[in-house]
Amino acid sequence: MAKSVSWSLASSVHSQLSVSRHNHHQLELGMRTSPLNFVKRQSLNSPLSFSSSCMGAPTPIEDTNRHHSTRTAAVRHLVGSVTKTQGLRFAVVVARFNEIVTKALLEGALNTFKNYSVQEEDIDVVWVPGSFEIGVAATKLGKSGKYNAVICIGAVIRGDTTHYDAVANSAASGVLSAGLNSGIPCIFGVLTCDDMDQALNRAGGKSGNKGAEAALTAIEMASLFEHHLSS
Ligand SMILES: Nc1c(NC[C@H](O)[C@H](O)[C@H](O)CO)[nH]c(=O)[nH]c1=O
Ligand SMILES: CC(=O)[C@@H](O)COP(=O)(O)O
């Protein structure tokens, strides 16, 4: 049986995960300049080159981290692959409240699925009135057994009262509970913003598209569960 051993992880899985996710984002935006350019170029050429599915000779990523590294063949690192998407199924729960924002987030998510070869017939989009309702729908979808991951999209924008805090906190804990109770990754793609400008900037504006990032997270988690954590 093939063992899931990564040779290239050095100081921490988490640090490279964040670098890699950032890379995918940058890849979409076409930006390649960064102090971490060398490491990033590795991942740009070979998405998730540290992935458990990529065996072989140590990579330059490892060499750059030699002093922090505790490389050993006995340690297994299990990481989802964003390139192994075949057969993965996703549900996207979208809140209609602040629809101008949530539609743009959804579009970002669907574009990412397309870019990573997730088939349209493997995606269901489920609409709910507001972010408060996302959790219960995500729980139902997660428990249905039909999906490898559920993406939750909403936009909570601060008003004059404390209502914002109630809706934002409920949305976050609802999505968290949905994942924990269903055992299916439920991804938090709910914006919590002070004003509409902040929200639009994160829905395809100058701060990127959080829906696209949520979709990439969903793919990675779906792959992790399907290829490494299923019993
Ligand atoms: N104010 C926002 C809401 N409010 C609506 C609630 O989510 C919910 O639908 C209602 O309280 C009925 O249960 N929803 C958002 O998504 N964003 C907001 O800014
Ligand atoms: C999420 C919200 O808080 C918002 O729509 C409600 O606004 P307000 O606090 O002015 O009632």
| CATH code of the domain covering residue 202 | 3.40.50.960
Report, as an integer, the average pLDDT of 137-156. Answer: 98
Distance (Å, whole) CA 21 – CA 221: 12
In a domain, 50, yes or no: no
In a domain, 169, yes or no: yes
User: Is the predicted ipTM greater than 0.85, yes or no?
Assistant: yes
Q: Give pLDDT, residue 31.
A: 30
Total-model pTM: 0.75
Ligand 2 binding pocket mutation candidate from 134, 158, 162, 198 (most atoms within 8 A of CB): 158
Distance 229 CA to ligand 1 centre (A): 35
In a domain, 175, yes or no: yes
In a domain, 18, yes or no: no
pLDDT band, very low/low/confident/very high, at 53 (cuts 50, 70, 90): very low
Distance 130 CA to ligand 1 centre (A): 4
In a domain, 161, yes or no: yes
Distance (Å, whole) CA 188 – CA 218: 9
Ligand 1 nearest atom to the CA of residue 157, by list position: 19
Q: Give pLDDT, residue 137.
A: 99
220 lines ligand 1 (CB under 6 A): no
In a domain, 104, yes or no: no
> Who has greater pLDDT, 37 or 227?
227
Question: Residue 161 sits in which domain range?
Answer: 124-210
Number of domains within the chain = 1
> 81, 20 in Cβ contact below 8 A?
no
In a domain, 203, yes or no: yes
DSSP state of 59: P
